[in-house]
């Protein structure tokens, strides 16, 4: 008997990219209902620690982009999470 494809474990294929919801928000969508009009995913682990990385990735492909309102700290490297927290968040997604 063969097993259904849905029974198998799927691997993440986009482990190094920006989640679609955050990319949409960086692109200017204001349809989110989280704190400060942001998507809730921004406030969850591990994404909260990876927000500066996501912003740098977004900014590299969209040089004229400005941070969303209330998230100007993404441009300030002194306010980013500590390196150990970022590494733990990456391991969590891997």
Residue 4 forms part of a structural domain: no
Average pLDDT over residues 47-75: 92
Helical axes 83-93 vs 47-61, angle rounded to 10°? 90
Whether the link from the prior residue into 54 is cis, omega within 30° of 0, is: no
**17, pLDDT greater than 50:** yes
pTM: 0.77
Residue 76 forms part of a structural domain: yes
Average pLDDT over residues 32-47: 86
Residue 77 forms part of a structural domain: yes
Q: How many domains does the structure of the chain reveal? A: 1
Average pLDDT over residues 67-88: 91
Q: What does each C-alpha distance from 56 to 6, 7, 15, 26, 31 come to in angstroms?
A: 35, 37, 16, 11, 22
**Exposed/middle/buried for residue 50 (C-beta within 10 Å: 0-12, 13-18, 19+):** buried
Top-confidence residue, 4 or 27: 27
Residue 6 forms part of a structural domain: no
Q: What residues make up the domain containing 54?
A: 16-93
């Amino acid at each position: 008997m063969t097993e259904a494809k849905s029974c198998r474990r799927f691997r993440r294929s986009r482990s190094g990219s920006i989640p679609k919801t955050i990319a949409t928000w960086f692109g200017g969508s204001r349809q989110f209902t989280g704190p400060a009009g942001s998507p809730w995913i921004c406030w969850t682990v591990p994404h909260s620690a990876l927000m500066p990385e996501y912003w740098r990735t977004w900014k590299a492909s969209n040089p004229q982009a400005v941070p969303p309102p209330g998230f100007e700290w993404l441009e300030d490297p002194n306010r980013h999470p500590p390196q150990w927290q970022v590494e733990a968040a990456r391991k969590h997604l891997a």
